Amino acid sequence: MKLWAGQTISEFGTPVSQIAIPWIAIKNLNESAFAVASLTTVQFLPFLLFTLPAGVWVDRLSRRMVLIVGDLGRAVLLATIPLAYAFDALTLTQLYVVAFLVGILTVFFDVAYQSYLPYLVERDQLVEGNSKLQITVSAAQGAGPAIGGGLIQAITAPYAVFVDAFSFVASGAFSGAIKKREQVAARVEGARQSMWAELREGLSYVLRHPYLRPQAMCTSTSNFFGSMSFAILLVFAARDWHMSAGIVGIGLGLGSLGWLLGAVFVGRLQAWLGVGTTTLVACVLFGVPWLLIPLAPQSFPLPFLVVAILIGGFGGVVYNVTQVSLRQAITPERLQGRMNAVMRFIVWGALPLGSLVGGALASSIGLRNTLIVGAVGATFAIVPIWFSPIRTLRTIPEPEPPDEPRLEPGLATPLQGPLPAMEESNA
């Protein structure tokens, strides 16, 4: 409950910065579409640079303490933006630096967060726990953009960032109030190796796993093309649709009700359709709805924005809850941090690449055409799941033995040998 309470406050603050920081670059600093898209690239670049070692450290340290430091550190960094603005010293360079450092702390926080939940709740409560956490995210995504847009209109974008900074302080306080202590020494006793050996074990576990590898390929494909679109969405809304921050916030907020619906109904969908079919249905919704945005009439685009985010958000949340619960349930506890780190490295590492490509494409073929490319590309995310054993899963499998990694069908040795060829992991 304390973890959930802290997350709730933080999640309601996050959408404020998600709108406010790009809006500062667009309106206060009058930067180009490429510069605005580069903010997303810089923010998610740490997922390429630091995620894998973060997984090793999260398995070695107190995950609760990682959460606290991550929250308080991000609060301090974000608070520097309104302070610099107050003294007329805010620059794009500072936004890049803050985005990068916040991204590093987010890497450690997210890996610890997903690894901490299985320690706090029982295995049969994971879907319910992830659903409740996702309900909070969905409610925040619904109300947060409208709140953020209103705050930007009322007090300007730089000062609106203070709200997110405060939310991180509150989240850290709730994590600090959790009394249940992890057995960190017991988790690493007899298992600590060199950094590289532990990295290699985590990479091998994910990249050769019959469920985790296709999951990573599907999510990274969706994230790459999705980030192409999201990196320029605000620029498109402001400059092609001539929307104000308040209207954009209302559109994003109404559309994000799809997130809430997905979180509420994911358990029923799994019970009705099974894990595999639920995953496939969610994948179908990754790209097609987003075509509504570039194809919307310029005279009346708001309903198209709302419907696209509503349907796409529903599919994204159903997919996330289903797949995160699956990997948390089957992975041995001592590998949770590294498994989540490798997954984050692959699936979140696609975000800065996608946003960078999105910004470059927007400068060459235009905002509208780039949005079409992103929507069409995201539809191919279903392919890895379709050709994997996930497709036939009815229920979440039983946990795997802690020291006996799962065998890929047809393999004669445990999944802890040499890493697969680079071509395979890149596919």
Query: pLDDT per residue over 149-159, tens digit each?
Result: 778 888 888 88
Q: How many helices (H) and strands (E) does the chain have?
A: 20, 0
Confidence tier at 183 by pLDDT (50, 70, 90):
low
Query: What pLDDT is attached to residue 144?
Result: 66
Query: What pLDDT is attached to residue 254?
Result: 80
Residue 197: pLDDT over 60: yes
pLDDT tens-digit map of 305-329: 999 989 998 998 899 889 888 888 8
pLDDT tens-digit map of 221-263: 999 999 888 888 888 888 888 888 778 877 877 887 887 788 7
Most confidently modeled range among 138-142, 198-202, 355-359:
355-359
Query: What pLDDT is attached to residue 412?
Result: 34
Q: What is the pTM of this model?
A: 0.67
Distance CA 251, CA 307 (A): 9
Residue 133: pLDDT over 70: yes
Q: Which residues fall within 8 angstroms of residue 354, CB to CB, at 6 or more apart?
A: 223, 224, 225, 226, 227, 228, 231, 374
Confidence tier at 188 by pLDDT (50, 70, 90):
low
Amino acid 166 reads F
On average, the pLDDT of the chain sits at 81
Residue 15: pLDDT over 90: no
Query: What pLDDT is attached to residue 194?
Result: 67
2-177+194-399 fold: Growth Hormone; Chain: A; (1.20.1250)
Residue 270 near residue 322, CB atoms below 8 Å:
yes
Q: Six-digit token pair at 39?
A: 């903010």
Confidence tier at 304 by pLDDT (50, 70, 90):
very high
User: How would DSSP label each residue in 121-181?
Assistant: S-GGGHHHHHHHHHHHHHHHHHHHHHHHHHHHHHH-HHHHHHHHHHHHHHHHHHHHT----
Interval 72-88 mean pLDDT:
93
Query: What pLDDT is attached to residue 374?
Result: 93
Query: What pLDDT is attached to residue 427?
Result: 28
Distance CA 42, CA 356 (A): 9
User: How would DSSP label each residue in 38-106?
Assistant: HHHHHHHTHHHHTHHHHHHHHHHS-HHHHHHHHHHHHHHHHHHHHHHHHTT---HHHHHHHHHHHHHHH
Distance CA 144, CA 227 (A): 20
Percentage of the chain exceeding pLDDT 70 = 87
Interval 99-123 mean pLDDT:
82
